[in-house]
């Protein structure tokens, strides 16, 4: 499934004005299904209880992978309403040089949770690293990450394709 999903990503990822349009992958039903299964596959035997995703594409993918794994979904928000007590951490500069204040509901994770991080793309790892800090502050176990495009090469993150394979578009 991973190879099939990677082929679909390489074939179907569109570039608009030099920017990768990952949203276009979600619009194609077979690609969306293959990607979600492939993101879940490496972790099916890991006892994942919660999938963590950062808005916005991490919400869509993380929610879908959570359903695939029979796990729950834990949202990490950058803004907006978010009720209850939160853990909040600032990132280092991300791929755009921006720092984000990430928030996670404190009650969403318990020490017996086993957490998978899911996102579409990891470049500097700033957001994923910050989420890991928050997950571990809750006492939960960080299992690693699963992303469509891995531009970082961190051994703790599984990627379907590397950024080098995608080039920079036409």
Ligand X SMILES: O=P(O)(O)OC[C@H]1O[C@H](OP(=O)(O)OP(=O)(O)O)[C@H](O)[C@@H]1O
Is 126 near ligand X (CB under 6 A)? yes
DSSP alpha helix (H) spans, the chain: 2-12, 23-27, 29-40, 57-69, 126-137, 163-166
In the complex, the smallest distance separating the C-beta of residue 96 from ligand X, rounded to whole angstroms, is 7
Candidate list 25, 52, 54, 118; residue touching ligand X; CB under 6 A: 54
Instruction: Tell the smallest beta-carbon distance from residue 74 to ligand X (Å).
Output: 15
Pairing of strands 101-105, 19-21: unpaired
Among 20, 49, 52, 58, binds ligand X (CB under 6 A): 58
CA 26 – CA 22 distance, rounded (Å): 7
Q: Tell me how many residues contact ligand X (CB under 6 A).
A: 16
121 contributes a contact to ligand X by CB under 6 A: yes
Rule CB under 6 A: is residue 62 a binding residue for ligand X? no
Task: Report the SS3 class of residue 167.
Answer: coil
3-state class (DSSP) for residue 7 = helix
Site for ligand X (CB under 6 A): which residue of 7, 28, 94, 154? 94
Closest CA to 75 of 135, 149, 155, 140: 135
Interface with ligand X by CB under 6 A: which residues?
54-58, 94-95, 119-127
């Amino acid at each position: 499934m991973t190879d099939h999903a990677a082929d679909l990503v390489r074939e179907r990822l569109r570039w608009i004005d030099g920017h990768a349009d990952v949203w276009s992958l979600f619009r194609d039903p077979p690609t969306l299904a293959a990607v979600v299964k492939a993101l879940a596959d490496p972790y099916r035997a890991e006892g994942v209880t919660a999938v963590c995703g950062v808005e916005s594409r991490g919400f869509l993918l993380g929610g879908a992978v959570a359903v695939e794994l029979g796990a729950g979904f834990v949202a990490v928000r950058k803004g907006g309403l978010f009720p209850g007590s939160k853990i909040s951490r600032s990132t280092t500069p991300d791929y755009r040089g921006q720092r984000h204040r990430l928030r996670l509901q404190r009650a969403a994770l318990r020490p017996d949770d086993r957490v998978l991080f899911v996102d579409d793309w990891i470049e500097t790892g700033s957001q994923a690293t910050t989420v890991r800090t928050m997950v571990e502050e809750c006492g939960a176990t960080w299992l690693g990450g699963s992303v469509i495009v891995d531009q970082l090469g961190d051994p703790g993150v599984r990627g379907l394709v590397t950024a080098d394979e995608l080039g920079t578009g036409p």
